[in-house]
Structure 1
């Protein structure tokens, strides 16, 4: 299994001035640097690709879904912008050699409401329609879309594996799969290992292995042995990535409800988290 870490741990937004993180992540011993597309115009993607190739680091591309990138919004202009953002990010993933582009593709993070069944159905339909369009672009560029359930405090639309599977089934494209974040799963699923088995090898494309408090993996209350057994049972061949948040922007802090430091330092969280990954998943 290959191990990675998100640049969210150190900086937000990631930009061309943040490229020193490539050397840091490589020197720590990670295989993958995960880069969120917060503002695509702040990053010289050609230079980033050149640098990651030089140091021998793989790249995975993730999403940052603000209020104006919501493919299930009531506002047609926002839905269109959300679709364009996904399509632009697919192209970035292809340029960077990332096999996937993942995140809460279906809605904006922090969108929390109690709405009628009729409105839920309408938003579901808008989401499915736009994901079908996104999958056409994904097929063109050979990129898998990873749909990620979020916890109830960050989204009112997709919190569980069952809800994610419902969207994947409705879209019915081999280019739309599911990625899991164990932090969210720990809140919403009865049993994370059972949920992993339910998604299965064919649909599980990516795992963000985050601790119960989003702190250092291995220091919380997750049943890591059960998670390992389930991943081995289904024959999971993807990556395991730390995605937590250090120097977060005000918008990101509000969306993810990060109000305090999660470790003594970002470097410590990353290095100790990687050591835990290697002990847990390579033994």
Structure 2
């Protein structure tokens, strides 16, 4: 069994300034961290992945979707934006060296339609 901690405890965007927290997490005996993916570019996550490798921390990633990236929205342009956003999140997670991307990815966060899926 491995133990990890979600970096949302400290921030919504893990950067170099969080190196002390990452070192602390490892010193506490955690095996890895869950990285929130809400901001940045794949190159930012690649650099973060190298830092985690140097510290000896494994990683998973989590993300979510805003209303403008809702994959079940009535508007096909919004649904296409959701696909683009998910591709971006996948690219960031891959760049970080994560094997996992999780989160509420089925619909926009806190948006409830009150109906089932349609034929589209």
Distance 1:2 1:63 in 2: 21
The aligned residue for residue 79 of structure 2 is: 79
The aligned residue for residue 49 of structure 1 is: 49
Distance 1:101 1:65 in 2: 13
Structure 1 residues 43, 66: CA separation in 2 closer, same or farther (over 3 Å shift)?
A: farther
Which structure carries more helix by proportion? 1
* Secondary structure at the counterpart of residue 2 of structure 1: coil
**Over aligned residues, Cα RMSD in angstroms?**
2.1
Unaligned runs of 5+ in 1: 127-283
Q: CA deviation at 1:31?
A: 0.6
Distance 1:42 1:94 in 2: 8
Distance 2:10 2:21 in 1: 8
The aligned residue for residue 196 of structure 1 is: none
* Secondary structure at the counterpart of residue 107 of structure 1: coil
Structure 1 residues 15, 77: CA separation in 2 closer, same or farther (over 3 Å shift)?
A: farther
Q: CA deviation at 1:98?
A: 1.2
Distance 1:36 1:29 in 2: 21
TM-score under structure 1 normalisation? 0.39
- Equivalent pairs counted in the alignment come to 119
1:115-152 CA-to-partner distances (Å, cap 9, x unmatched) read 4xxxx221xx55xxxxxxxxxxxxxxxxxxxxxxxxxx
TM-score under structure 2 normalisation? 0.85
Distance 1:101 1:42 in 2: 14
The aligned residue for residue 68 of structure 1 is: 68
Alignment of 1:106-117 (within 5 A): 106-115=106-115
Structure 1 residues 32, 68: CA separation in 2 closer, same or farther (over 3 Å shift)?
A: same
Distance 1:44 1:87 in 2: 16
Distance 1:86 1:113 in 2: 20
Unaligned runs of 5+ in 2: none
The aligned residue for residue 34 of structure 1 is: 34
1:223-248 CA-to-partner distances (Å, cap 9, x unmatched) read xxxxxxxxxxxxxxxxxxxxxxxxxx
Distance 1:76 1:19 in 2: 41
1:6-62 CA-to-partner distances (Å, cap 9, x unmatched) read 111122x21423343321221221111101111134982232111101111001011
* Secondary structure at the counterpart of residue 104 of structure 1: coil
